Each structure stands twice: as structure tokens, then as C-alpha cells.
């Protein structure tokens, strides 16, 4: 990942202003420690902090067209840049950077080229011929982008809030799949896939089509000129990413430079579910596996730094970001600069445990659409900023545009969790990779039940966070929370504690408004809480809150509250029985 900062329409364009832009851009240097660039044109500034992944030798930014009349600063990767260059044969390219194609596409097609890009990106482009500018963010919001407005009438764009919050009167998160145009004077959506309207699709499920779409998504993300690996938790999603990458690595250009053995990485408390499962998967697919441990105290000690980097006070995001933040530092110390990760699958396929309660396929599908649209505020934010804090880039194959279109066109009846048929959550994905001839994964891993990352690194992690917050926040502080924090009022001591840290770094009203609020159970949207009346009484963002569904967590509580017949008839027992039968017949 790189860091970008752009400012247009500054009243003051003195040397002092240039120095200020450099100072603010420096706040993003963790994202791009390899080089810094700045282009000034009258009252316009485009700054860049580079993490060199493709063409490290000559791809410094900002980037230009042939006569330098078009200037662009980009954070991201354009996976189809070679195909796009075939459409631009009359243009001369200065570098081997995948992002240079953006300047030439604008020159050729104007503002309507963004949908041609296949990748993850946030960019700002200046046309010096008329001083017009555009800014755009990728379809799902894998890369972060903020927009702000200064009192002097200036417009600001930055990869992270910390680069513009002090100098802007108001700022907000830039919407994914949107483009800002100074010519048209506003923001419009460029990304308009069929699923966005939330209309219920009817395409029959074809496991071969789904599997091939995902294989293609993984393979295109092996575009790199630097060492890389895969984040492997041992759960379904990261295991599939690792298994596909390991199988196809030998056929990629990356193998010519870095060899055909894949590196995988896992983090957890000693004895955590993820560490054991990840080691088993790594041994099965033959990766060079790196296992990192952390203690609850080390995680607690890192909280302030984590919140500064990820720029949120959302409880589940902080819980999951902290282990990822610690792991990213270790990975970077090994010389690795890029990793593949498994974010997005749970949103697309309804993988969270609360989806067991979806009353029908219509509500199931609508909830997946809501979850995908909100990814930029949660998992995308976590995956990007936790890794970028250490100059590490995370790529997410499940959020490939073509793969999402394929997966979201499936009749949601196939995605529904059906205990009577032995269908666990994300059955359509598991089944697509259930290949007896050339298995990707062992059956029991392929059908392992969902663990949220913050749970899987060790159940005592969340308990430790709650205990720490209990010592920091008094009952009186929480009782008066609505007066101190009237917007998105924290309802738990853990939430209150994170909020105090966030406000210390980002005290403006605009900053706290960039964080979503509302009730949630097991990572649900507020709407999905209506699926179970009991959830409204005990909203817990942890996946363990879906009591009676997860087979491992809170088992004692479930045993205490159910008789033997209830346990035999519960959805988790029926699904587990179906899984065991499937493994036994393999």
C-alpha cells in the first residue's frame, strides 16, 4: 500500500504551504516507506508515499502522461494493466508501474474509464490543462480514502484521516465505487453491478464456475516484484486462498523471481484454535509456515498505537486489528512486502453464525448486500490499515469484482444454512472446492465451522480486553457516557475505553462521524437483529454471541441451558453430524 495526499484550491501557495503539505504527507510514510514524491501546480498539490511492489526501480509517483499535463497519485494495484496497455498503443509509458495506465486512460477516455480498472485503488488525478481534477475509490473500498474541505475553499483527499483532520473544517470517508469530479461539481457512483440493487438473483449454483472464478481471482493477485505470502488462520477462507495460491504459484511470473514454495503466516495466543488449524493446513499444502505468538498483555500494550493507525473505535474492528497489527510487524521484519488475505467471504456467502437465523432467502441475500456495502468501514479498513501500519500490502481475492459478480448472482436459496441437508454456513464455497480427485484441503478443514479472527487467535484475547477495560472505566463513567459521547454512545466499558483513546488522537466531530454505530450481534447489521428476539436483549459483537450455533465457544453455557433433546435437535448438532457423515464417506 501507498499513501496519497492531494489538495486543490489553496489560497496560500507559499513555500510555507508546500512545507505543510510535506509535513502532512509524512504522517502517511508508514504506508509507503520506499520513496516520497510531490507535484505542485499553482494552488494544487499531489503528494505520494510509495510502497514499491511492482517496478520498484522506476515506478515512483506522482505519475504522468507523455507531456506531463496529466498528473496522478495512486494507492493500489491495477491487475489488468497489461491488457489495458493494449488499448493504449499510441501512448508512450515512462515506467513499468501498473498505475501509470490511469493517466493515459484519462487522456484517452476522459472521466469514464474507472470501470475499466480491475484492481484495488484510490487515486487523485489533476488535468493541468484546465486545472480540473477527479478522485476515485475502488468498487468495495479495499483501499482507504477520505475527502475534506478547508475554510479557504480548498478540497483535500488523503489515504488516512490523520493527514487531513487538522487542516480541514469537515471531512468524511470517500464512498467506495464513487468518483469525484471538479468539472461536474460532486460525487457520483461509477460502480453499478447487478447485485447493488439487492434484487434477488436466480442463477443456478454451478460449483465449477464458482471455483474457477476464485482461482482466477487468486492468480491475478500474484502480480508482484517483491517477496510475498499468505495470511493463514486455518479457517476456510484463508485456507482456500493459501491452497489455490500454492497450487498455481508455479505457473505465475512471481515464481520466476521468488520460487514456487509459498510462505504462510499465522498469529495467535499459545494454544489458540487458529495456530493448530493453520499448521495443519500449511503441512497439507506444503508451505513454508511462520507461526507468531503474542500475549494478551502485548496486545493491550499495543491498543493505543492500533487505534491511531486504524482510525476507528469500533469494538470488533479493534479486537481483530490488534493481532493483525502485531503479526504485520513480524512479517515485514522477514522482508515480505505483500500478503494475500481472506476478507470478504463471510459477507458474500453469509458466513457469519447469525446467518443461521435468516428467515428466508430474500432477507439472507439483502443482508449479504448490506454487509458488502459496509465492508469499507470494517474488514477492509482493518485489513488495509493494520498491515499498512508496517508498510505491508494486503490483497483480498474474495473481493475481486468478477468473483463478487459470480457469487452474488447465485440464487440465495443455495447459500441458506440448511441443517436438514447438512449444509453448514458457506456450503456453496466449501462444496465448490470439495474435490476428491485433487483435493485442495482436508475434509475437516474444508468443513471447519466459522471463527471470527478475534475469537480464533484465542478465546482469552477478548476476555482479557474486557477485563482490562473493566479496570480503566468506572460504572459512573459508563452511566454518563451519553453526556460525554452523545454521538455513537458506547454501551460497554470496552467500547468506552476505545472511544477515549480515539478521541485523544481525533478530537473533531467529523472524525467520530466516520465510524459506524448501531447495535450488532455476531457482526450483524442492525436490521438482522430482528431475526431473533433474544439478540436485542444481549447484543454482543463477538461471533460467540450466536449461542447454540457455534460448536466450541460458550459450550458450558449452552449445556447449562438446554436438555439433551434440545442439544440433539439444535442446528449446530445437525450440521456437525452432517459434516462427520460427509468426512466418513470421503
SS3 189: strand
Of 58, 143, 60, which Cα lies nearest the Cα of 384?
A: 143
Q: In what order do the strands lie in the sheet with 178-181?
A: 63-64, 70-78, 119-127, 132-137, 178-181, 186-189
DSSP 45-75: EEEEEE---S-TTT--SSEE-TTS-EEEEEE
Contacts of 519 by beta carbon, 8 Å cutoff, 6+ apart: 526, 529, 536, 539
Question: Locate cell 443482508: which residue?
Answer: 367
544: which DSSP letter?
Answer: G
Q: Within 13 Å of residue 54, how many CA atoms lie on the same side as its CB?
A: 21
Question: Is 380 noted as a catalytic residue in this protein?
Answer: no
Q: Is 300 left (phi over 0), alpha (psi -120 to 50) or beta?
A: alpha
Element (H, E) at 327: helix 315-333
In the chain the first and final C-alpha atoms are separated, in Å, by 42
SS3 172: strand
**Residues within the annotated binding site for ATP?**
231, 267, 341-342
Q: Give Cα separations from 196 to 119, 214, 349, 355, 557 (angstroms).
A: 19, 20, 15, 20, 39
Which positions are catalytic? 2
Amino acid at each position: 500500500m501507498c499513501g496519497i495526499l492531494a489538495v486543490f484550491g489553496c489560497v496560500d501557495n507559499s513555500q510555507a504551504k508546500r512545507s505543510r503539505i510535506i509535513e502532512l504527507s509524512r504522517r502517511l510514510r508508514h504506508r509507503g516507506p520506499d520513496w516520497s514524491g510531490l507535484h505542485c501546480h499553482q494552488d494544487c498539490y499531489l503528494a505520494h508515499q510509495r510502497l514499491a511492489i511492482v517496478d520498484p526501480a522506476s515506478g515512483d509517483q506522482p505519475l504522468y502522461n507523455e507531456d506531463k499535463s496529466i498528473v496522478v497519485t495512486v494507492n493500489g494495484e491495477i491487475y489488468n494493466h497489461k491488457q489495458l496497455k493494449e488499448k493504449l498503443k499510441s501512448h508512450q509509458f515512462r515506467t513499468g508501474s501498473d498505475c501509470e495506465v490511469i493517466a493515459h486512460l484519462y487522456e484517452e477516455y476522459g472521466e469514464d474509464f474507472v470501470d475499466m480498472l480491475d484492481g484495488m485503488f484510490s487515486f487523485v488525478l489533476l488535468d493541468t490543462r484546465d486545472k480540473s481534477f477527479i478522485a476515485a475509490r475502488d468498487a468495495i473500498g479495499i483501499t482507504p480514502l477520505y475527502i475534506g474541505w478547508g475554510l479557504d475553499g480548498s478540497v483535500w483527499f488523503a489515504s488516512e484521516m490523520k493527514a487531513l483532520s487538522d487542516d480541514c473544517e469537515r471531512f468524511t470517508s470517500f464512498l467506495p465505487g464513487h468518483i469525484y469530479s471538479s468539472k461536474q461539481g460532486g460525487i457520483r457512483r461509477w460502480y453499478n453491478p447487478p447485485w447493488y440493487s439487492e434484487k434477488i438473483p436466480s442463477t443456478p449454483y454451478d460449483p465449477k464456475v464458482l471455483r474457477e472464478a476464485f482461482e482466477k481471482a487468486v492468480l491475478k493477485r500474484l502480480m508482484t516484484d517483491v517477496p510475498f505470502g499468505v495470511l493463514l488462520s486455518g479457517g476456510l477462507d484463508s485456507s482456500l486462498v493459501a491452497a489455490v495460491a500454492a497450487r498455481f504459484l508455479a505457473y505465475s511470473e512471481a515464481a520466476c523471481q521468488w520460487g514456487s514454495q509459498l510462505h504462510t503466516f499465522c498469529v495467535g495466543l499459545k494454544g489458540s484454535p487458529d495456530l493448530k488449524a493453520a499448521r495443519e493446513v500449511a503441512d497439507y499444502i506444503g508451505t513454508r509456515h511462520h507461526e507468531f505468538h503474542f500475549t494478551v498483555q502485548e496486545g493491550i500494550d499495543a491498543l493505543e498505537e492500533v487505534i491511531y493507525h486504524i482510525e476507528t473505535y469500533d469494538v470488533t474492528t479493534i479486537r481483530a486489528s490488534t493481532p493483525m497489527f502485531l503479526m504485520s510487524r513480524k512479517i515485514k521484519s522477514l522482508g515480505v512486502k505483500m500478503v494475500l488475505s481472506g476478507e470478504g467471504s463471510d459477507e458474500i456467502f453469509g458466513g457469519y453464525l447469525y446467518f443461521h437465523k435468516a428467515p428466508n432467502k430474500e432477507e439472507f441475500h439483502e443482508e449479504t448486500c448490506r454487509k458488502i456495502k459496509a465492508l469499507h468501514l470494517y474488514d477492509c479498513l482493518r485489513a488495509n490499515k493494520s498491515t499498512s501500519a508496517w508498510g505491508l500490502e494486503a490483497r483480498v481475492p474474495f473481493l475481486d469484482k468478477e468473483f463478487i459478480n459470480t457469487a452474488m448472482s447465485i440464487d440465495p436459496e443455495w447459500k441458506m444454512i440448511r441443517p436438514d441437508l447438512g449444509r453448514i454456513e458457506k456450503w456453496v464455497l466449501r462444496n465448490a472446492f470439495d474435490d476428491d480427485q485433487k483435493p485442495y484441503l482436508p475434509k475437516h478443514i474444508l468443513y471447519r465451522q466459522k471463527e471470527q479472527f478475534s475469537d480464533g487467535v484465542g478465546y482469552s484475547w477478548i476476555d482479557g480486553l474486557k477485563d482490562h477495560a473493566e479496570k480503566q472505566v468506572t460504572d459512573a463513567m459508563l452511566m454518563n457516557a451519553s453526556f460525554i459521547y452523545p454521538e455513537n454512545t458506547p454501551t460497554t466499558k470496552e467500547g468506552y475505553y476505545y472511544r477515549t483513546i480515539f478521541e485523544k488522537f481525533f478530537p473533531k466531530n467529523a472524525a467520530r462521524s466516520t465510524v459506524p454505530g448501531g447495535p450488532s450481534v455476531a457482526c450483524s447489521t442492525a436490521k438482522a437483529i430482528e431475526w431473533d428476539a433474544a439478540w436485542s436483549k444481549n447484543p454482543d459483537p463477538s461471533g460467540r454471541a450466536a449461542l447454540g450455533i457455534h460448536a466450541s465457544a460458550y459450550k458450558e453455557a449452552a449445556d447449562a441451558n438446554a436438555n439433551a433433546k434440545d442439544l440433539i435437535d439444535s442446528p449446530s448438532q445437525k450440521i456437525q453430524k452432517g459434516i462427520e457423515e460427509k468426512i466418513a464417506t470421503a
